[in-house]
Amino acid sequence: MQRVQVLAAARDLPAGSSLGAADLVPLDVPPDLAIPGVLPAGTAVSGRQLATPLQKGQIPTEAQLLGPGLLTGAPAGSAAVPLRIADPASLRLLSPGQLITIVLTGTGGFEARKSEVLATAVPVLWTSAQGGQPGQWLGTGETDGLVVVAADPAQAGRLAGASTQGKLFFVLVNPPAASAGQGPGAAG
């Protein structure tokens, strides 16, 4: 019977673990278990961090590892910022790469508070609506309503903890035209 080698957990590993060379070991499996995203034997994992816990013998996928993958291609200094959106059902409108503007609304105390734009045209990295399995990215069941965006340092400072100040909503943003005179509404 034909087999392929993939990496599997050598022992129980908690979420957030920084992997060493001995934490994932080669395992022979039938080809149909080598689903897209699994780590082939020989993949360098030292220094990578687990986003989810792994049980001994479990075969991780690239999506279960943090590291450069989540912010690949983002400008230097970018941060991945998780946000809890007030309307979790709206996350079905999003997919990675979509640009959104984040808006904070007041919670309705004694003083009316104007809505405030916290970040403009930030790219979505991940949503809890992705794949239909809560907890896949963060390793917990408390991901309902979460979206992770790439933010520059100033935006990250405004976004971190913003959901404690009011309700967060997003607005879908059209990407800027590649050059002047192109895109919707351009005169031709």
Residue with the bigger pLDDT between 35 and 103: it is 103
Number of domains in the chain: 2
Q: Assess if residue 179 is contained within a domain.
A: no
Same domain, residue pair 83 and 134: yes
Same domain, residue pair 132 and 89: yes
- Residue-wise pLDDT for 148-175, tens only, equals 899 999 999 999 988 888 999 999 998 8
Which of 47, 66, 85 terminates a domain? The answer is: 66
Lowest-pLDDT range of 9-13, 65-69, 104-108:
65-69
- Report whether pLDDT(100) > 90: yes
Q: Assess if residue 45 is contained within a domain.
A: yes
Q: Assess if residue 136 is contained within a domain.
A: yes
> What whole-number distance in Å separates Cα of residue 75 and Cα of residue 148?
16
What pLDDT is recorded for position 171? 96
- pTM for this structure? 0.58
What pLDDT is recorded for position 62? 83
Which of 66, 88, 107 terminates a domain? The answer is: 66
Same domain, residue pair 35 and 112: no
Same domain, residue pair 143 and 81: yes
Q: How confident is the model at residue 135 (pLDDT cuts 50, 70, 90)?
A: very low
Q: Residue 58's domain is classified under what CATH number?
A: 3.90.1210.10
What pLDDT is recorded for position 142? 58
Which range of residues forms the domain containing residue 52?
1-66
Same domain, residue pair 26 and 77: no
Same domain, residue pair 76 and 53: no
Q: Residues 142-168, buried b or exposed e (16+ Cβ, 10 A)?
A: ebebbbbbbbeeebbebbeebbeebbb
Tell me which residue of 140, 149, 145 sits closest to 128, measured CA to CA.
145
The percentage of the chain sitting over the pLDDT mark of 90, rounded to a whole number, equals: 40
What pLDDT is recorded for position 134? 40
- Residue-wise pLDDT for 14-49, tens only, equals 877 889 989 999 999 998 888 888 999 998 888 888
Lowest-pLDDT range of 22-26, 115-119, 177-181:
177-181
Same domain, residue pair 26 and 79: no
Same domain, residue pair 53 and 88: no
Which of 66, 83, 115 terminates a domain? The answer is: 66
Q: Assess if residue 181 is contained within a domain.
A: no
Same domain, residue pair 10 and 42: yes
What pLDDT is recorded for position 107? 64
Same domain, residue pair 55 and 108: no
Q: Name the helix (H) or strand (E) containing 129.
A: none
Q: Assess if residue 185 is contained within a domain.
A: no
> What are 147's strand-pairing partners?
83, 127
**Angle made by CA atoms 107, 108, 114, in degrees to the nearest 5:** 80
